[in-house]
Amino acid sequence: MTRLQTILLLTIILLVGLIPITIYLMEGNSLTGDIASLPTRETPRHEQAAQALAGLVVKPTYMMLCLAVIIALIGQTRPALVALMWGQIAFLIGEIFCAINFYIYRHESLVSEYLHSFGMALVFGFTVFALLEWFDLFANVRRKPFLAKEMKAFALFATPALAILTFIPLLAPLQTSAYTTSIFNFTYSYTRFEAYEIYERRILPISAFVLFSTAFFSLLNRQNGISFLTKALLSAGLGALGFSFFRIALNAIFVDNLVWFEFWEETTELMYVGATAFALWRFRFLLKKTPLLSMFLAEKNI
């Protein structure tokens, strides 16, 4: 990505990310949920242990691993690696706000949870963009320009299909659930407020539909291949829709027992960061030598 493309992309991300917070402020809503009247539930000991494991072991582990990945990617110039780095940065920032919400606000801060969710949607999108860039690199290295043509043909078919899929979360009912409990004598709130559900099942799918529609018309106006802008639009749409489906799936399964909602979200996040780190290790020969990277890899292995 050029400097101008990077600045433009980050500006769009910032503006889009501020929309829900602006709506909250305009409506005069509190930036914390209404927890005064939440019912109280008793959590079994094994579920308390699962929550403690997720919050005190799993989360710190993948956050430190994510930081290591970011450090390893600093200074890389391949577009796929740059996109992956920004995705990891967005992910880490989102998880920092998630930790703030968990440790300080006890899951009662709408803003912290929103910024966590926004970071997750961004990492979905940046990861897709990185994969598209790797595909382009493969096509160029292998000198198979017909792959670019086939990629465009597939995108012309897949983009409308993805736009149609956005109606699944749009038509899904909101599933709110909130209660307080005790985790080893630590008072904690499990909250799936309406604001979260509206963001995940309304705002994100609508955003994805707009992004997919714009990407489709961008494809129609290009004779061959997929432009940077189109890839960015497709990736952003898949990021929004992918995170929407991810949260809907977890909430549909665990809406009545949010301990497991959080446990499996933390576990899958560890799996994602672990897979990213493993892929970078396996293909470390594609990484450019940098002073920071040399701190993690022995010279003979770079």
- Cα(125)–Cα(138) distance, rounded to whole angstroms? 20
| Domain-located, residue 35 | no
pTM of the complete model: 0.84
| Domain-located, residue 22 | no
Tokens of 19: 């929309």
Tokens of 2: 């050029």
| Domain-located, residue 184 | yes
**Total structural domains in the chain?**
1
| Domain-located, residue 33 | no
| Domain-located, residue 4 | no
What is the tens place of the pLDDT at every residue in 215-269? 999 888 766 678 888 888 899 999 999 999 999 999 999 988 999 999 999 999 9
For residues 101 and 116, is the Cβ–Cβ distance under 8 A?
Answer: yes
Confidence of residue 28 (pLDDT cuts 50, 70, 90): very low
Tokens of 225: 């291949």
| Domain-located, residue 3 | no
What is the tens place of the pLDDT at every residue in 186-203? 888 888 888 889 989 999
Supply the range of the domain harboring residue 78. Answer: 48-301
Q: What is the mean pLDDT of residues 59-75?
A: 92
List, in sequence order, every residue forming a beta bridge with 182; answer none if it has no partner. Answer: 187
| Domain-located, residue 12 | no
For residues 189 and 106, is the Cβ–Cβ distance under 8 A?
Answer: yes
pLDDT exceeds cutoff 70 at 155? yes
Residue 40 or residue 135, greater confidence: 40
